[in-house]
Amino acid sequence: MPSKPESPSRRVFLRQSLTAVPAVTLLGPGALAAPTAAAAPTAAAADYAPRYFTQPEWDFIKAAVDRLIPSDADGPGAVELGVPEFLDREMEGAYGHGGYWYMQGPFVPDTPPTLGYQLRYTPREFYRAGIAAVDAWCKGQHGKHFAELTPEQRDDVLHQLEKNQIQLKDVPAGMFFSQLLTNTKEGYFSDPMYGGNKQMGSWKLIGFPGARADFADWSEQPGKPYPFGPASIRGDKT
């Protein structure tokens, strides 16, 4: 656990996010049982070249996830922990190609979210269309692409997307934001073998033991820090 002062609100947010997105599962049934390109060994962030995203898309992804989970005095953010790499790898795997989703019509975009995903796009197509639409909107409103905006302007755009206050071409703004946020959390808390959560940084930040086989005794001691540090699926430890 970090020895420096903690930010309670950040800790609470990240712990709640981990509850919603289990860190040792990934994006749908069977993902760990049959690793795809998304589970390839992680390269250093500075050396990673995107396989699916174009350079403008890659700039958008980095700029967006940096605002969704930014670095602060208490711990690393999404970019530092490799979330962009995680997302790019997933676009080339079964998840990105819609392998876990029912993708036959009819498509009813206005269906309530409780009835599930109702668009014609696979995840990789959804990202491509969504990024292009957001960049086009930003260009029209600010004369710049999303990644070129100030942090404050990017926050404002993301808030408007979240509230579905922006009309995007072919893509529901709120649904695109929700997908981006969900996948960002997944990359932040996933096992490092998938490209994100480098060196188990998010697990160390919140005191999560990771893929250790037995920590039941500690789960019954709320508030007591786990003393051994996290372990990854591959057996890496810190």
Query: Would residue 95 count as lying in a domain?
Result: yes
Query: Would residue 206 count as lying in a domain?
Result: yes
Contact 174, 138 (CB under 8 A): no
Q: 15: which residues sit within 8 A by CB, 6+ positions away?
A: 206
Average pLDDT over residues 217-232: 79
pLDDT at 172 over 50: yes
Q: How many folded domains does the chain comprise?
A: 1
Highest mean pLDDT among 12-26, 44-58, 75-89: 75-89
Q: How confident is the model at residue 19 (pLDDT cuts 50, 70, 90)?
A: low
Query: Would residue 226 count as lying in a domain?
Result: no
C-alpha span between 12 and 29 (Å, rounded)? 27
Round to the nearest angstrom and report the end-to-end CA distance of the chain. 11
Query: Would residue 62 count as lying in a domain?
Result: yes
The one-letter code for the residue type at 1 is M
Query: Would residue 232 count as lying in a domain?
Result: no
- Closest CA relative to residue 134, chosen from 164, 113, 108: 164
* 3-state secondary structure (DSSP) of residue 72: strand
* 3-state secondary structure (DSSP) of residue 154: helix
Query: Would residue 59 count as lying in a domain?
Result: yes
C-alpha span between 140 and 40 (Å, rounded)? 39
- What are 152-167's pLDDT values in tens digits? 999 999 999 999 999 9
Q: How many CA atoms are closer than 13 Å to the CA of 155, on its beta-carbon side? A: 6
Query: Would residue 224 count as lying in a domain?
Result: no
Q: Which residue carries 């819609």 as its tokens?
A: 98
If phi > 0 it is left, if psi is from -120 to 50 it is alpha, else beta; for residue 197 that is: left
Contact 233, 32 (CB under 8 A): yes
Average pLDDT over residues 30-46: 41
**Burial class for 1, CB neighbours closer than 10 Å (0-12, 13-18, 19+):** exposed
| Bigger pLDDT: 106 vs 50 | 50
The interaxial angle of helices 173-189 and 83-91, nearest 10 deg, is: 110
Q: 116: which residues sit within 8 A by CB, 6+ positions away?
A: none
Query: Would residue 235 count as lying in a domain?
Result: no
Provide the residue range defining the domain that includes 215.
Answer: 8-219
